[in-house]
Amino acid sequence: MTNHGWDELEKIFGQGLIMNMDLDLLERSPEVMPLLVRLHDMQRADKLPRCERKETYSELSNVMLDLLQVNLEPGEKELITDVLIGLMRQAEIDLRKALADRLSVMEDIPLRMVLHLANDEPIVADNILRESPILQEMDLIYIVKSHGPGHWQSIARRQYIGGQLVDVLAETKDLETAITLSENETAELTENAVEIFADMAKHSEALAKPLLVRKELPKGMAKKLYAVVGHELKKSLEKEYGFTGNYISEEIADLVLEFEEADTRNFMPSVRQITNAEAMKSHGSLDIDSMMRVLRRGQIASFIAQFSVHSGMSAQTVHDILAQEKGQGLAIACKALGISKPDFMSFFLLSNKIRYPGDGIVDQAELGSALGYYDRVEYARAQKILQASQEDAIK
């Protein structure tokens, strides 16, 4: 590159960054220099007509990603990161968001770059906070304490966040963050979070709705909360969860009871749960997704009721096949019903407490055996076995 070119880069990236580079070392790289030149040539995207910027931002983010992925020594990678962060400080928000969205799912990215974008405006940081595997729990806790609701709500959408982070989010007492976290089925609410959210939910039905069906909500707290919610929320719960008519209040209690006693009862559904499942089928809302939802909330008896109605087998038969350690009966039923292998595996894993009430830990050998049986059983044979079970249920 000419001296004039380096002068231009100094203006773009900052004189200190360019002077600190080992220019001879970077010039020997056949990849870095052309990418820096492309950044130099494209950096005035903000002067383009708005209709042309989207494509330019996409290309700019491609160049930046290419720079981050060049095989360099650690010290050189740090210099490149400095250059890119310097550029980010001057870039328009659309470019910063485009880069953040691309980086959010990547694993081999410098932490400093990810943190820089995670601390940007909420619209830029959103996908990074929700998805990035680079960010650890302490990074996220620091961000919660340093920023506001926009950042909190993005973090509350992350998969499988830890208890310490859940507590920090709950203690913000931000309503939208509480709703988002309560709707996050992969997050396990701590006792502290449940207490905070239950108190907030007394004044917010938007929070009460997802909180009432959380397995972490104690029975007594659920009853008190349900007593203060309005008629419209009761109707909404009736429609979404299949509760029927005058039984809705009792059904909420049964739902909570199922959460509390799932380790000690025999998991057989009540007559009302069977009735609810039948009502869901008649309304067209009984499907794989509905069964998966109740299993993820730990409602095995409700799952048995729904699977029984869906399959035409008796509840006792469904209970018995779920109790089989190697999952052969469940494999046959799922194959005959056209349920996919991933969904069968989820059913097998999530219903494990019926087989091992103590800890619910899945034995890998048993999982392998169940998946192998699903692969081996022929569809026609599975249908014959299912039909025999259906006929037994009618008798």
pLDDT value of residue 55: 58
Single pTM value for the model: 0.56
pLDDT digits (tens, 9 = 90+) for 322-346: 988 888 999 999 999 999 998 998 8
- Stretch 56-85: mean pLDDT: 71
pLDDT value of residue 273: 84
Average of per-residue pLDDT values in the chain: 78
Within-domain flag for 81: yes
Residues 385 and 240 in one domain: yes
pLDDT grade, residue 263 (50/70/90)? Answer: very low
Please choose, from the candidates 144, 138, 142, 113, the residue with its C-alpha nearest in 3D space to the C-alpha of residue 128: 113
Rounded to an integer, what is the distance from CA 185 to the centroid of its chain?
7
pLDDT digits (tens, 9 = 90+) for 123-181: 999 999 999 999 999 999 999 999 999 999 999 999 989 999 999 999 999 999 999 99
Last residue of a domain, one of 118, 135, 152: 135
Residues 265 and 117 in one domain: no
Judge whether 70 and 80 are in contact, CB under 8 Å. Answer: yes
Within-domain flag for 119: yes
Domain tally, the chain: 2
Within-domain flag for 343: yes
Within-domain flag for 316: yes
Within-domain flag for 347: yes
Judge whether 251 and 272 are in contact, CB under 8 Å. Answer: yes
pLDDT grade, residue 117 (50/70/90)? Answer: very high
pLDDT > 70 fraction of the chain, expressed in percent and rounded: 72
- Stretch 203-213: mean pLDDT: 89
Domain range enclosing 51: 1-135
**C-alpha to C-alpha distance for 329 and 338, rounded to whole angstroms:** 14
pLDDT value of residue 2: 42
Within-domain flag for 210: no
Within-domain flag for 339: yes
Last residue of a domain, one of 135, 161, 182: 135
Within-domain flag for 277: yes
